[in-house]
Amino acid sequence: MHTKERNARSGGAPRRRSSVRAALGARAVEATGAHDDAHGPGLDRYDIAILAELQRDARLSNAELASRIGLSAAPTWRRVKWLEQQRYITGYHAELDRRRIGLGVLAFVRVDAERNNAAATRALEEAIRALPEVVACHYISGAGTFELHVVVTDLDAYSRWAREVLFKLPNVKDIHTSFSLGEVKSGAALPLSHLGG
């Protein structure tokens, strides 16, 4: 009888100690803002939740953000700073309605380069970066070298800009333009489901 009681006690103790250790570990994570690498490239579920919430509304106060992700304010603040330092968060900005500010035309412009050697491509890259009308630029596969997203006020403005600016950039051989007839989706948040959490 006494043996069974001792066995029951000894069998239950490790489980209790294990649950206590788990609870203490969870509190330590909250207190220190530590990260669990098991959920992707250095991110745990709290980090992923922070990224999701800030993509939805970057104006959240730290207190509001902490409440939404289920942490207290201090570790939430430390995690946001860590995400900024590690360049998961690269900045905060207001998303503007281009039409409301008079930019009625969105053009997709494929640029063919004359030469594709390193020096010529770098010169064209730098020239493109300096153009405020170009809101995005990508290297592309297949025909062409760059794909530009260009915003201007109207079609006449685009025509002038293409002739007077784009064709005069170094190393531009030809351009091919398509115009947006309507936005189905833009400025979308990045998907995070592949990170787990």
pLDDT digits (tens, 9 = 90+) for 59-108: 999 999 999 999 999 999 999 999 999 999 999 999 999 999 999 999 99
CA 62 remoteness from chain centre: 19
Confidence at residue 93, expressed as pLDDT on a 0 to 100 scale: 92
pLDDT for the residue numbered 37: 45
In whole angstroms, give the CA distance from residue 161 to residue 168: 10
Q: Which long-range contacts (CB under 8 A, 24 or more apart) does 147-150 make?
A: 147/108, 147/109, 147/110, 147/111, 148/107, 148/108, 148/109, 148/110, 148/111, 149/106, 149/107, 149/108, 149/109, 150/106, 150/107, 150/108, 150/109
Distances, alpha carbon 46 to alpha carbons 22, 24, 65, 89, 140, in Å: 17, 17, 11, 14, 35
Residues in contact with 149: Cβ distance below 8 Å, sequence separation at least 6, in sequence order: 106, 107, 108, 109, 134, 135, 136, 137
Q: Per-residue pLDDT averaged across 10-39, rounded? A: 50
> Which neighbouring-strand residues pair with 152?
105
CA dihedral over 167, 173, 179, 183, signed as positive or negative:
negative
Phi and psi at residue 65, in whole multiples of 5°? Answer: -65, -45
Q: Which tokens sit at 39?
A: 């959920």
What is the set of domains in the chain, with CATH numbers?
2-85 (1.10.10.10), 105-179 (3.30.70.920)
Report how far Cα 189 is from the mean position of its chain's Cα atoms.
7
- 8 Å CB contact between 166 and 109: yes
Q: What is the pLDDT of residue 104?
A: 97
Q: Is 177 exposed, middle or buried (0-12, 13-18, 19+ CB in 10 A)?
A: middle
Please report which helix (H) or strand (E) contains residue 77, including its range. Answer: helix 73-85
Give the residue-averaged pLDDT of 148-160: 98
6-16: pLDDT as tens digits: 444 445 555 55
Read off the pTM. 0.75
Q: Please report the pLDDT score of residue 188 as a whole number.
A: 86
Q: Which of 132, 129, 137, 131 is nearest to 109 (CA)?
A: 137
Longest dimension (CA), the chain: 97
Residue 42 pLDDT: 82
